[in-house]
Amino acid sequence: MKKSNVYTKTGDKGTTSLVGGTRVMKSDTRLEAYGSIDELNAFLGLLNCDIEDATLKELFLFIQRKLFTVGAILATEDDATAQKYGCKISEEDVKRLEEAIDVMDAALPRLKLFTIPGGNKPGALAHVCRTVCRRAERRIIALNELNPVSNELMVFVNRLSDLLFVLSRKLVLDENQEEIFWSND
């Protein structure tokens, strides 16, 4: 069996294929959206390397798998093709994020000021993930103005950024580190 080539040379002139075959420029809004999701997934993988809690590791695996689904949906030229491949973000997926947020947030002190990213490496990296997630959300919203994107997908990405914020606080406080708060001095 011959191994497939990593390089195909089909994108050498700045285009790529969507799932379904349509060729688009690599600067296309759709590619910006799923490229940001891919970047987020890579940063989550990096953050997961610093996580030891089995429950969080399981949550991260769920999120990373769902991000592949999000990327597949965004890389697909139409809903019918995405559904053909079983790609869907559901209300249950959103609820799983909300439940994880509620559990983590219940164990945290009330937030009175804005937090500055830092405190420890995992907490800071969770903030990096949060900011990449927010960018991905902005790209998805821009795509939605051109081609409709499912509401559940947009809500999932929005909720994920909320989860990453709460997670950043949890990771700092779990290591008995101090959160860094903004002050307007």
Question: Which tokens sit at 143?
Answer: 């795509």
Where the chain has pLDDT below 70, the residues are: 1, 3, 7-27, 78-86, 113, 179-182
Specify the pLDDT at position 93: 97
Count of CB atoms situated within 10 Å of the CB of 11: 12
Place of tokens 């089909």: 10
CATH architecture label of 25-77+89-181: Up-down Bundle (1.20)
Specify the pLDDT at position 5: 72
Half-sphere exposure at residue 26, Cβ-oriented, CA atoms within 13 angstroms: 7
pTM: 0.87
Specify the pLDDT at position 10: 58
d(CA 131, CA 164): 9
Place of tokens 């953050």: 47
Specify the pLDDT at position 19: 63
Specify the pLDDT at position 115: 78
The domain segmentation of the chain, as residue ranges, is 25-77+89-181
Specify the pLDDT at position 173: 84
